[in-house]
Chain A
Amino acid sequence: MIKIEMQNVCLGYGRKVVLKALTFHVMPGEVVGLIGPNGCGKSTIIKALSRIISPHSGKILLDGKDISQIPRRDLARLLGVVPQIPLLPSSFTAFEIVLMGRNPHLGLFQYEGSEELAITWRAMERTATQSLAERRVGELSGGEVQCIVIARVLAQETKAVLLDEPTANLDIGRQVEILDLIKSLCRESNLTVLAALHDLNLASQYCDRLVLINNGRIHAEGTPREVIIPQNIKEVYGTDGCVYTHPINGLPVVLLKSGNGQPAQTRDGVERGIV
């Protein structure tokens, strides 16, 4: 169990400041979603939390400990990351990629033993990717690669997981499978989960809390019901999102309509003509 905390953090690349005065936290057993328009800095937050970039100011804490003080290997045992567009070396097999998740648990003089293989295999079972094990990742589809990387983060056995658009390449069936898996892991083993999500409906369905980022600041924070409201959608995305209530669980859903207010031309007439 581990708590992720950002205290008044300012992030950027070089001199350019992307995000200012970020303060939020993620508790163990909680799924928090980062939402916001393209380029608002969701991936930057993920990079800062995994120490790829260091903050200009402010503190990033894991269980109260500043992450800049944690050695890289120790950090990788606490915190796993699923990158947005995982680039994988095409000639490795899927199993070899998932096995890399065990790397932070092995020292310089150790090698992967049967325990490592078993954990790797179990991670592939949980993500339903065993059938891909012997395939070279260059031959896999984008969705399959995404699942392999999620299997890798499971094999890493961390206490917190950061996901950067984990469902971007997945069909709706796989989206639900993967997010269900992450949610159940979060509940079972008190995993701390922070996910940058593009899809507001998925964010609403799966996250306990949402952090809406816009113009380098936190625009709104709270439960999906508090954050996904027409006013916020209009202010942040500049489009008249139609926010409805999900008929089954009462969570907000966003439906889109075309910009000119006209419904798209129906093809009914044309199709009837052909058939």
Chain B
Amino acid sequence: MTLHQLKPSFTEQSVPIHFPHWRGRIYAILGLLVAFGAIVVFATAVGSVQIPFSTICRILFSKLPLVEINNPAWPGTLETIILEVRLPRVILAGLVGGALALAGATYQGLFRNPLADPYLIGVAQGAALGAVVGFLLPSTWHGMGFGIIPVLAFIGALVSTTIVYSLARVGKTLPVTTLILAGVALGALLASIVSYLIISSGEKMHGIIFWLMGSFSLSRWSEVGVVLPYVVVGVVVILLYARSLNVMQLDEEQAQQLGVNVERLKLVLLAAATLITAAAVSFVGTIGFVGIIVPHAVRLIWGPDHRFLLPLSVLTGAIFLILADVIARTILAPTEIPIGVITAIVGAPFFLYLLRRRKRVIF
């Protein structure tokens, strides 16, 4: 233990001890990638129309590049069910799950607050208000493109977070506590307006409530095409800042002393996380639980290092929401259950089990 026996350089044996648990996490990412592929195929196979598993695989593989199946032995309706109904729905569920889990992990890291979720600073309430206004508009407005509801939900989400952000700004800095409080307060205000609009919405009430609890029932490739670019760009940007998020866990002063431009980091990450959340919820509604619980589950299993936590959250969130959607559309078929109900019923017990099994500090 004496400092006077300073070793001039590291010994070759001394460093590699730290590689193994990194290696384990890298294997976990690769494993989850494989699992994601398998679950996409599985989720596409499950549905009200029974289709042989081998046919599903052949239909899917025939669409991959470089694969040539000359003699398609399946009816065209099956191909439509697989490729135009089920697959876009599975992919959209994966995108939304990954986006919400990543946004949750980002907010939790940025705010150093385990209670943070993607809806903390007003995204959900803004989106809900936008969507409800969309529902209440006369039906002549609904014909265009994807319909007016996702567009208004997206705008509502961005406007409300921009308001929260500018309210919370003090001079050149953005104190995290002020931001959270402003988000909670504006969220409450918007939520009460939404409640009032729901009560006075008459026969449209059912559709509104279904939207608020989340559903993938109207998923098509066009929706996937809109959500995908946001999620891809957001994921890339956030993953680039994973190391800075680790340093942010110290506190803002130490992070600055270690070379992190804290205010710029907040701005970039808030913008990226808000965009992917807004893009995700505007088509499928404000699905709860994924954004707060998936990052904690990942943290419990693989530790708090954001360089692994963030990608693992994306994959786990995607897999989790795809499976939840499978349950939501099959368990009471042909009736669909709102996916928000399933995420909590399935996710909460599993998370509580993890929490009990690992009895150590997680945050």
Show the binding face of A for B, using Cβ within 8 Å: 47, 50-52, 71-77, 79-81, 83, 86-92, 95-97, 100-101, 103-104, 106, 108-109, 111-112, 114, 117-118, 121-122, 125-128, 130, 133-134, 136, 138, 156, 177, 180-181
- Any A CB within 8 A of the CB of B51: no
**Contact A52 B361, beta carbon cutoff 8 Å:** no
**Contact B258 A100, beta carbon cutoff 8 Å:** yes
In the complex, the chain A residue whose C-beta lies closest to that of B244 is A103
Bound-complex Cα distance A130 to B3 (A): 12
Q: Which of B86-94, B273-281, B284-292, B301-309 contacts A (4 or more CB under 8 A)?
A: B301-309
**Contact A103 B258, beta carbon cutoff 8 Å:** yes
Bound-complex Cα distance A47 to B249 (A): 19
Of B241, B257, B258, the contact of A52 (CB 8 Å cutoff) = B257
- Any A CB within 8 A of the CB of B349: no
Show the binding face of B for A, using Cβ within 8 Å: 1-4, 6-7, 9-10, 14-15, 17-18, 112, 240-241, 243-244, 246-247, 249-251, 253-254, 256-261, 299, 303-305, 307, 360-363
Q: Can you list 21 pairs linking A and B with CB atoms under 8 Å apart?
A: A50-B256, A51-B256, A73-B259, A75-B259, A76-B257, A88-B250, A89-B112, A89-B249, A89-B363, A101-B258, A117-B15, A122-B9, A125-B10, A126-B6, A133-B17, A133-B18, A134-B17, A138-B361, A177-B2, A180-B3, A180-B4
Contacts of A77 in B (CB 8 A): 259
Given contacts A87-B251, A96-B305, 17 further A-B contacts (CB under 8 A): A72-B256, A73-B259, A73-B260, A74-B259, A76-B259, A79-B257, A83-B254, A91-B363, A100-B250, A103-B260, A106-B243, A121-B14, A121-B18, A130-B14, A133-B17, A177-B2, A177-B3
Bound-complex Cα distance A76 to B258 (A): 5
Bound-complex Cα distance A108 to B303 (A): 22
Bound-complex Cα distance A101 to B258 (A): 7
**Contact B361 A73, beta carbon cutoff 8 Å:** no
**Contact A103 B259, beta carbon cutoff 8 Å:** yes
A5 CB to nearest chain B CB (Å):
19
Of B7, B261, B304, the contact of A122 (CB 8 Å cutoff) = B7
A52 CB to nearest chain B CB (Å):
5
**Contact A104 B258, beta carbon cutoff 8 Å:** yes
Of A96, A103, A128, A133, the contact of B2 (CB 8 Å cutoff) = A128
In the complex, the chain B residue whose C-beta lies closest to that of A89 is B249
**Given A92-B304, A128-B2; A47-B246 close (CB under 8 Å):** no
Contacts of B240 in A (CB 8 A): 108-109
**Contact A122 B10, beta carbon cutoff 8 Å:** yes
**Contact B253 A47, beta carbon cutoff 8 Å:** yes
Contacts of A71 in B (CB 8 A): 261
In the complex, the chain A residue whose C-beta lies closest to that of B1 is A128
In the complex, the chain B residue whose C-beta lies closest to that of A52 is B253
A1 CB to nearest chain B CB (Å):
20
A153 CB to nearest chain B CB (Å):
9
Bound-complex Cα distance A91 to B362 (A): 6
Bound-complex Cα distance A92 to B246 (A): 9
Contacts of A117 in B (CB 8 A): 15, 18
Contacts of B243 in A (CB 8 A): 103, 106, 111-112
**Contact A114 B3, beta carbon cutoff 8 Å:** no
Bound-complex Cα distance A71 to B256 (A): 11
In the complex, the chain B residue whose C-beta lies closest to that of A131 is B1
B238 CB to nearest chain A CB (Å):
12
3 nearest A-B residue pairs (beta carbon) = A76-B259, A104-B259, A89-B249
**Contact B259 A72, beta carbon cutoff 8 Å:** yes
**Given A100-B258, A125-B7, A126-B6; A95-B18 close (CB under 8 Å):** yes
**Contact B15 A83, beta carbon cutoff 8 Å:** no
**Contact B15 A114, beta carbon cutoff 8 Å:** yes
**Given A90-B361, A96-B305, A103-B247; A73-B261 close (CB under 8 Å):** yes
Contacts of A73 in B (CB 8 A): 259-261
Bound-complex Cα distance A118 to B260 (A): 22
Contacts of A80 in B (CB 8 A): 257
In the complex, the chain A residue whose C-beta lies closest to that of B8 is A122
Contacts of B363 in A (CB 8 A): 89-91
